[in-house]
Amino acid sequence: MNCWNALIILVVVAVAIVGRYVYLQWQNQHDEQRVVDNDIMNRVIVSVGEQRYSWWPISHFILYALLAFLFPDCWLFLFAMGILWELIEYAVSLFAYRKLRDSETYDASKSRGENKQFDKSSVQYAKEWWAGNITDIYFNVAGIIVGLLLAKLIKH
């Protein structure tokens, strides 16, 4: 079982995500509302009942399905790394988003000079978009299951 390759891929993806976040912060002058507004990954693409899903959980599903397909013997490792990542995101959110958490509404006029409220229905995360989320773990698990099933069907 060679999970090092899976770990390398996860680290590369994590660095890319952190780099993207830093870029969004720089581009939007550290205005969390503008970051949320300008994050194309945060746009809702699927709604199931009252729950809305953006590209973020879908990307979790795709990443973990691909990794489980490529490294089926590492499924438990992948599961553990997914939980660890969500815990790291949760820890970051405790410190990084106090200001945004304290605001009652997402007011687009603060970031775009408009006199209207931001349409929260168009994004999955209107507040604390960089926070650990149990939904991401569900998508990770679903991706791992699909990846393992595909590996079993295609490789064997």
- Give the helix/strand (H/E) hosting 48: strand 44-48
Number of domains within the chain: 1
pTM: 0.78
Helices 134-155, 55-70: crossing angle, 10 deg rounding: 40
Torsion, Cα of 17, 18, 23, 24 (10° steps): 70
What's residue 78's pLDDT? 97
Is pLDDT above 70 for 27?
yes
- Lowest-confidence range among 12-21, 65-74, 96-105? 96-105
Could you tell me the residue range of the domain that residue 13 belongs to?
A: 4-155
Q: Give the best-scoring range by mean pLDDT among 27-36, 64-73, 87-96.
A: 64-73
Token digits of residue 13: 């993806």
Residue 152 or residue 36, greater confidence: 152
| Mean pLDDT over the full length of the chain | 79
Is pLDDT above 90 for 143?
yes
Is pLDDT above 90 for 67?
yes
At residue 91 the predicted structure's pLDDT band, cuts being 50, 70 and 90, is: confident
